[in-house]
Each structure stands twice: as C-alpha cells, then as structure tokens.
Amino acid sequence: MKNKYVPTALGLYINYFVHGMGVIILAQNMDALAKQWNTNIGGVAIVISALGIGRLIVLFVSGVLSDKFGRKPFVYLGLITYISFFIGILISPNIAVAYIFGILAGIANSFLDCGTYPALMESFPVSASTANIMLKAFISGGQFLLPLIISFFVAAHIWFGWSFLIAAIILIANAFYLFKRPFPLMYSAEDASGFEKNETHDHLIGKPKFWLEGICFCLYGYVSQATFYLVSQWLTKYGSSVAGMGDTPSRVLMSYYAIGSIICVFVTAVLVKKFHTIFFLVGYTFVSMAALIILVLFPSPLVCILFSFVIGYSAAGGVMQLALVLMAEVFPRGKGTITGTFYTLGSIASFTIPLITGRLSNTSIASIMIFDAWIAAAGFVLALIIAYRYRKVVRIAATTEVEAS
C-alpha cells in the first residue's frame, strides 16, 4: 500500500537540499563575505563557527520538546529561522552582526533535525535507515549544485548574494507546500521520557546503558560531524593553496565530494537491505580515515579530485544518519530526545572545528587536513567499539530492514 507520508517526506527532503547549500554557502563565498565584513578568511571562519553554537543552544531541548509537541512545529521553526539566516547574512555589515545570523542558522538546523529525523523514522518504521540516509542525498545535492552556481556567478560577474536569495526562495515555496501535508503519529510524552526503559522491546537481548553505549554514540556523533564538516569547509582552499589548483577547479572539488556522497546514499539504500547497518558504520569510517591519510600524504590535483569523491562517499554519504538509526534501535523510546542528544555532540563539532581550523589556517592549510585525518582515526576506533557493544545488546536478526518488512 502507498504510504501517505511520501509527499510529506518529499517536502522534508527539499528542506535538506537547501540545508546542504546552507552548510557550505559561507565557505564558498569566503572572499566576497570577507570583503563585505572588512575581515579575512579567519574572520569568516569565526562566523561559520556560530552555526555550531546555534545548534548547541537549542538542540537537546528541541528534541525533548519535539517528543512533547510534535514534529511539524519544529520543521516550521527551522524554515523560518533558516530564511532569516539567508537574508540576514546579506545585510550584515560586519562579523558581529553576521555572527548573530550564523547562530540563527545553527538554531534552524537544530529545529529541522529534531522535527525531520523522528518524523521520517515514524513515517517509515520498517525502512528507517533508508528514509534517513536519503536526507544525505538531498544535502549532497545542494552541496553539488551550489559551487557550480557560485562559479557561474563569479565568471559572469553576478552579485554573490543571489546564491543566498535562491536558497531563501526555495524554503519559502516549500513552507507553503508542507502546510497541509500530514505528519505521523509519535510516542506519547510519557513513552518518550527516558533512555533506560528498554526492557519491553523484544529486539534487545541486553539492557543498554546510556553511560556506555550512549556516550560512544554521542562521541561518534562528534567525530563524524567533524570529519565531513571540516572537509566541506576547507576542501576548496586545500585544493587551491596546497595542491596548486586554480580557483574554479578547486571549487569544483566540492561537487566531486557531493557526487560521492549522493552515490553512497543510493548504494547504501540498496545494500542496507542485505547487510546490517553496523557493517556500513565500520566500513565507511575506515575508508574515510584511509582517504584522508592519502590526501595528506599526496596532495596533487589528481589525488584531490579522486579522494574528494571517496571522502564524500565514505564520510558524508549518510554514515552519521546510520549511526543515529542504530542509536534509536539501542534506545527505542523518544526519538526526538535521541536525535537531540546525538546531534548535540555534532553541534559542538560544528562550533569547535571552525575555531580550531581558523587558527590552523594561520599556520598552513595542510595542517587542517592532517588534523582531520586524526579525527577520522578516532572515529574508526569509536565505530569498532560501537559495533562490539551493539552486538552485545541488540538481536541483530531482528533489526535488519529486509526482515522487518
């Protein structure tokens, strides 16, 4: 039977297409924004870090409130604040004002996450991994298209601000589209209150503890967000400054990166029905670590092109969303709270990584990618621990999509 929430899901995916643009739009317009704000690229990096602060301020609370008041209000809060960000950046005269709007972008992302991820898991309960990982296809679609648009604007001497206005217009149109679309039912507020009430779920063979499995998942949320967020912000500069690529070719690296993540989404959506999600968590984390090491050791245009694709595939192709689905299986109650908790650590990464890399950029752009390689290595270690503990508490055969369906 046709799922009545498919039209709703389409609108939610469109929001994340624009979110994909929003994640990199400041970095892709670094030079123009630095000139507008009378600063340098380090100053723009500080504004980029504000997105992490915005996420951190409201993320956990948004998740809890989403379990209480529903998913749709938080999707609309996300739309309103994201539109304010895209327009506000264009009228910001300095980095102080821009920082405020950067915080709004982070808040918008938190609202969208806490409304969208639970809504998709509740709309498609037997294929939650596929539903959530498809968000990455749309995020990557936005990250693929935006550098091409900006490259065209630069070549045609068109005002850079149109890239922000296009994103805002899409969100406004989508807000009207989603207004009458149905959202799924959820757990009651009483059922969504805690992490430890898992003993009634028959797919669990042990009683998970948040201080153990939960902490590992949250730390993985930090390192997985840091790994691909760092690449998305600095890959263009790495290509031009370290690998000796020109302005346009280095911008197109983000498109190769996005193509890799898009392909990964569709490959994983098919294979996750045959292989367990934990297999992809460990495998993709290892590949991203190896790819970053090679990128650091052999910085050439060809290596940058090839491994932009590989890193996009492995680090930005939905591995973070898969980890969230696994965490929701270990702690089944309160998907909004789970989402808020998991992404809180990711928001800390969004805040701290730009600050760290902004300082590293004063030394060398190459040191930024070395730093990312170490982060990816930590992520691989965490993935191994999660895989081990997951098998201790979850009945594997009961959680695969093919058997659930």
Nearest by Cα to 120 from 171, 176, 75, 69 = 75
- Residue labelled with tokens 């081990």: 388
**Whether residue 232 has pLDDT greater than 90:** no
| pLDDT interval class at 382 (50, 70, 90) | very high
Contacts of 294 (CB under 8 A, 6+ apart): 303, 307
Contacts of 96 (CB under 8 A, 6+ apart): none
Winning range, highest mean pLDDT, from 171-175, 298-302, 388-392: 171-175
Q: What is the pLDDT of residue 402?
A: 36
Model pLDDT for residues 128-171, shown as the tens digit of each residue = 778 888 888 898 789 888 988 988 998 888 999 999 999 999 99
Q: What is the pLDDT of residue 54?
A: 87
| pLDDT interval class at 197 (50, 70, 90) | very low
Model pLDDT for residues 336-358, shown as the tens digit of each residue = 888 888 888 887 887 788 788 88
Share of the chain above pLDDT 70, in %: 91
Contacts of 1 (CB under 8 A, 6+ apart): none
CA distance 382 to 170: 38
Q: What is the pLDDT of residue 206?
A: 61
Nearest by Cα to 345 from 311, 371, 375 = 375
Q: What is the pLDDT of residue 210?
A: 72
Nearest by Cα to 6 from 170, 115, 119 = 119
Higher local confidence (pLDDT), 206 or 126: 126
Higher local confidence (pLDDT), 350 or 31: 31
Report yes or no on whether pTM surpasses 0.75.
no
Structure tokens given for 114: 């806490």
Q: What is the pLDDT of residue 105?
A: 93
CA atoms within 13 A on the CB side of 197: 7
**Whether residue 26 has pLDDT greater than 50:** yes
CA distance 373 to 369: 6
Model pLDDT for residues 293-313, shown as the tens digit of each residue = 999 999 999 999 999 999 989
- In three-state secondary structure terms, 204 is strand
DSSP state of 127: G
| pLDDT interval class at 198 (50, 70, 90) | very low
Nearest by Cα to 87 from 60, 112, 105 = 105
What is the mean predicted confidence (pLDDT) over 34-40? 91
Question: Mean pLDDT for the chain?
Answer: 85
**Whether residue 403 has pLDDT greater than 50:** no
| Beta strand residue intervals within 223-315, DSSP E | none
Q: Residue 64 is inside which H or E element, if any? A: helix 41-69
**Whether residue 237 has pLDDT greater than 90:** no
CA distance 46 to 84: 19
**Whether residue 188 has pLDDT greater than 50:** no
**Whether residue 230 has pLDDT greater than 80:** yes
Domains of the chain: 6-181+193-404 (1.20.1250.20)
What is the mean predicted confidence (pLDDT) over 246-269? 86
Q: What is the pLDDT of residue 193?
A: 41
